[in-house]
């Protein structure tokens, strides 16, 4: 019996500390985990709007930069091109969608719904990004979905 080697840091971050192992819909759990941390931090620390925007952008960039190698390693060790249990990409995309949202539950839900729609639907040119190699492709399609959700969310938040 052979045991597959798992790189602990990559699996911890790639599955976002186990959120990606939940069923059904691990991507939604990853998005909800990111949203929950953002919401909790916004209400625990009471940052100014500018500070929250900057902190969220930094967190999204960090998740993306760490997520690319983590997703690559987990995909290789899983033997799958884009394993569903890798949700660090959803975390990065969801954080991007939240960058300019007000920290109330209505705007958080708008960002969540928009991100999940664009992540699942993957309109052009988002779908093309999946073709990039390994962790880059895994991450960048969700980053693009997050950017699209951010733009649409900005428009919607003007009316809500």
Say yes or no to pLDDT of 75 above 90.
yes
Q: What is the pTM of this model?
A: 0.95
Measure the CA–CA gap between 10 and 47, rounded to whole angstroms: 30
Q: What pLDDT does 156 receive?
A: 95
Task: Grade residue 4 by pLDDT with cuts at 50, 70 and 90.
Answer: confident
Q: What pLDDT does 1 receive?
A: 44
The angle that helices 134-157 and 49-78 make with each other, rounded to 10 degrees, is 150
Higher per-residue pLDDT: 125 or 10: 10
Over 23-75, what HEC string results?
CCCHHHHHHHHHHHHHHHHHHHHCCCHHHHHHHHHHHHHHHHHHHHHHHHHHH
């Amino acid at each position: 019996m052979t045991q597959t080697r798992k790189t602990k840091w990559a699996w911890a971050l790639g599955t976002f500390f186990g959120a990606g192992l939940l069923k059904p819909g691990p991507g939604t759990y990853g998005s909800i985990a990111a949203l929950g941390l953002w919401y909790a931090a916004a209400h625990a620390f009471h940052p100014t709007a500018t500070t929250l925007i900057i902190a969220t952008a930094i967190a999204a960039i960090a998740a993306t930069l760490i997520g690319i190698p983590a997703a690559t390693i987990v995909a290789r060790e899983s033997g799958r091109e884009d394993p569903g249990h890798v949700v660090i990409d959803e975390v990065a995309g969801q954080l991007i969608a939240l960058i300019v949202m007000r920290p109330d539950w209505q705007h958080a839900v708008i960002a969540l719904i928009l991100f999940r729609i664009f992540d699942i639907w993957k309109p052009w040119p988002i779908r093309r990004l999946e073709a990039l190699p390994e962790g880059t492709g895994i991450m960048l399609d969700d980053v693009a979905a997050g950017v699209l959700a951010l733009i649409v969310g900005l428009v919607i938040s003007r009316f809500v």
